[in-house]
Amino acid sequence: MPDGYMGGGMVMESRGIALRSGLVPAAALLAVGLIVGGYLLGDGLTRARHADRSVTVRGLAERNVTADLAVWTLNYSEQGTDAAQVQAAIDRDTQTIRAFFTQLGFPADALTAAGAGANQNYMNGVQTVTINQRLQLRTTDIARARRAVARQFDLVRQGVVLQEGSGISYSFTRLNAIKPAMVAEATRDARAAAEQFAKDSDTDVGGIKSASQGYFSIEARDGEQSGYGVADTPLKKVRVVTTVDFYLD
């Protein structure tokens, strides 16, 4: 009996040791899991905090260009009591204008009719007829167009009276050709502003979080005076502003 009792005790004790030894790996795995989980959670929170750190800045790009299209609208009219005579006068004005542009070297198809109108008024039993005519010059020869505008009083001296609304406008039509370079320039300008902000905040600028492109504007760099007020100029300034949100590391 004593021997058997001792044998049974030894068996129970050895089972207890085996049981306890089985718990050690499980506890170790649980501890490791808690450590790893805590690290990942902390790292995730750190990355989340970094993701929230950003600065929004604007970048500007400007470029001086020269217009490549000129459109000159000429409004003129004649008035009288005899409709046939008024029509003959307006026809002479039209011939005078066409001859004016031909002498300056413009092709015939550069000048086109852009509208006409007529009205009659009666005052004290007398009929008055007014005929309005509009011609339009459209050309890519900017230098020649400017010379024509400078000599517009030659038309006045030949009896053609240009009405209000007669004026030339210059347009820049090649915007798409310079858009990519200007957007890149505006983005670089925005990054420079962000880097200055980061320097003052003792941080570094990371990648772009979001960005938006503003509208391109084309405006005259200056105005010139003409006999009919302020005229347009072929010297243009193209401008764009971008808004960029940069990460801060």
Residue 113: give its domain's CATH number.
3.30.70
Choosing from 146, 169, 192, the residue where a domain stops is 169
How far is residue 136's CA from residue 173's CA, in Å, rounded to a whole number?
Answer: 19
Residue 93 confidence (pLDDT): 96
Identify whether the C-beta of residue 161 lies closer than 8 Å to the C-beta of residue 97: no
Residue 75 confidence (pLDDT): 95
10-residue block means of pLDDT along the chain (249 residues)?
46 46 53 47 46 84 96 94 93 96 95 90 84 95 94 92 89 95 95 90 89 90 50 89 91
Going through 103-204 in order, the beta strands assigned E by DSSP cover 111-123, 126-139, 167-171
**Stated pTM of the model:** 0.69
**Residues 243 and 212 grouped into a single domain:** yes
Residue 221 confidence (pLDDT): 84
Residue 39 confidence (pLDDT): 43
**Residues 163 and 77 grouped into a single domain:** yes
**Residues 163 and 223 grouped into a single domain:** no
* Domain membership of residue 11 as a residue range: 1-52
Residue 227 confidence (pLDDT): 40
Instruction: Kindly calculate the radius of gyration of the chain based on its CA atoms and give it in whole angstroms.
Output: 42
Residue 28 confidence (pLDDT): 53
Identify whether the C-beta of residue 129 lies closer than 8 Å to the C-beta of residue 118: yes
Domains identified in the chain, total number: 3
**Residues 81 and 134 grouped into a single domain:** yes
